[in-house]
Amino acid sequence: MDIKERLGYIKNLTREQFAALQYISERLNSEVYEDAIVFETLDWVINVVNAERVVFAKYDSATGGFSLIASRNANKDIVNKLEDFSTGLLKLVLKKKEPVLFHDAQNEPGISQLSSVLLKRIRSVIGVPILKNKEVWGVILADSQSDRREFTDSNLLFLNFFANLVSLALEKALKIKELAEENTLLKYQFEEYNRVPDMVGESKTMKELSKLIHRVSASDATVLILGESGTGKDVAAQAIHKLSSRKDHPYLAQFCGSIPDTLLESELFGYKKGAFTGASADKKGLLEASDHGTFFLDEIADISVALQAKLLRVLENKEIIRLGDTQPRKINVRIIAATNKDLNQLVKAGTFREDLFYRLNVFPLRIPPLRERRDDIALLADHFLQRLGSPGVKLTRAALSKLESFYWPGNIRQLLNVIQRAIILSDGSRIEEESIILEETSHEIKFDGTLREFERQILLRRLEEHGGNRTQTAASLGVSVRWVQLKLKEIGIH
């Protein structure tokens, strides 16, 4: 058919044919899904062709067979089985890759012998292929057990046009579906990449921290984790290990605070039989036991200068010497250290070795205090409720507001204790404001460090007492607001 004949045909479209073409054209310009196109297409075919039955079957190139996508009868009821239609006719359309029309299939050479045509007493047939990339994606087949004069050449041509538009709409729908699935997968992969094991938080601060943890996990660099007590420095250390290439090897940790020097040394480096009273056999230290893995030194600022020198050997030479032994032993261990103290000030004071500090400070990682990530308090509270076996319990708005407005000197560890206490005090599935007990910490300030640390403790105490109000804090200290802001900036509070 040349262009003139096509234009003449379009001019003579019936109202129903024109409406069908208009429908599918609109579908091409809207977000649409495969199922909607398939079912609505069958309704249009029944209306235009006046068929008794119509089926939309999808071709599976892998098996060479067809599967039922959708079907209708004249009453627009669903026909559930593909076997109710002629698979022989479906294969014929597949083979020809072009429309077919039979007014009297019972007497049509090459068709009347098909068992499915005979058994189902099919008289009139019209079928069109749905193409995708010039290959048959599916077939629309309409049939009748009586002579359907509406199964005309004109309708066959119309259905061919219609099928071409359906092909375009289906291709678009499948592309939308493919892109949506790809987008979902990429989003999941991105979230998985940015998610840090066991660390809860969606605030901007935590997202930045997550990026840093992922970056340093991909390397083998020594990490120095800085942060106040209770912020989760140990959780960050474990996360780095779990995300690293050492994840299948040991992760061991040692808290260094308030432990006698000899005991700490024997724990870290191990000992030889007879090294001291009670050393009845050789024993590996934690550093040696974490070979090929990760070792976490918590509160490293508390170890003695003498022990610092031995730890420096581990970082420089990758070897340890057991207590009471003279034989160096090579180890392959990643060191992660943490402290809540200002190591720079301790270096200046002469209580922490400068060379060790630089060896540890390859990649400093600051864990923010809870007051700097208040947006995460709701997530953390819900996480703790689930962890404590109360997933159905929810905080009221007032209870959550009380948590979000508190200063949290004890950070996440303190929040966990508050939530645990609130569960005990609450009845039912709601935690009310009165069940949130926020204990004020002692007003006594412990001074066992530098003058700067003493100044820091006083400033934070006053800021807590005044609910974070910097103007009131400045007035109570007899200083300017600018002084308070500068000091807070120095200690990392913005």
DSSP state of 322: -
In a domain, 402, yes or no: yes
| Residues 298 and 360 both lie in one domain | yes
Of 145, 179, 213, the last residue of a domain is 179
| Residues 173 and 222 both lie in one domain | no
Of 366, 388, 416, the last residue of a domain is 366
pTM: 0.55
DSSP strands (E only) in 103-233: 124-132, 135-144, 223-226
| Residues 359 and 377 both lie in one domain | no
pLDDT tens by residue, 299-340: 999 999 999 999 999 999 999 999 888 899 999 999 999 999
| Residues 66 and 160 both lie in one domain | yes
Tokens 């407005």 correspond to: 405
Report how far Cα 63 is from the mean position of its chain's Cα atoms.
36
| Residues 300 and 284 both lie in one domain | yes
| Residues 93 and 15 both lie in one domain | yes
Q: Which CATH number characterizes residue 214's domain?
A: 3.40.50.300
In a domain, 192, yes or no: no
Nearest CA to 139 among 95, 75, 76? 95
In a domain, 186, yes or no: no
SS3 at position 148:
coil
In a domain, 247, yes or no: yes
The predicted model gives 415-435 an average pLDDT of: 90
Q: Are 100 and 127 in contact (CB under 8 A)?
A: yes
| Residues 335 and 394 both lie in one domain | no
In a domain, 419, yes or no: yes
| Residues 401 and 256 both lie in one domain | no
Q: Which CATH number characterizes residue 477's domain?
A: 1.10.10
| Residues 248 and 263 both lie in one domain | yes
| Residues 167 and 128 both lie in one domain | yes
As a whole-number percent, the residues of the chain with pLDDT over 70 amount to: 86
| Residues 286 and 149 both lie in one domain | no
In a domain, 443, yes or no: no
| Residues 38 and 118 both lie in one domain | yes
Q: Are 365 and 222 in contact (CB under 8 A)?
A: no
Q: Whole domain around residue 96: which residue ranges?
A: 3-179
Tokens 């270096």 correspond to: 347
DSSP 55-74: EEEEEETTTTEEEEEEEEET
In a domain, 301, yes or no: yes
DSSP state of 106: G
Total domains present in the chain: 4
pLDDT number for residue 96: 87
Q: What is the mean pLDDT of the chain?
A: 82
pLDDT tens by residue, 255-276: 998 888 888 999 999 998 888 8
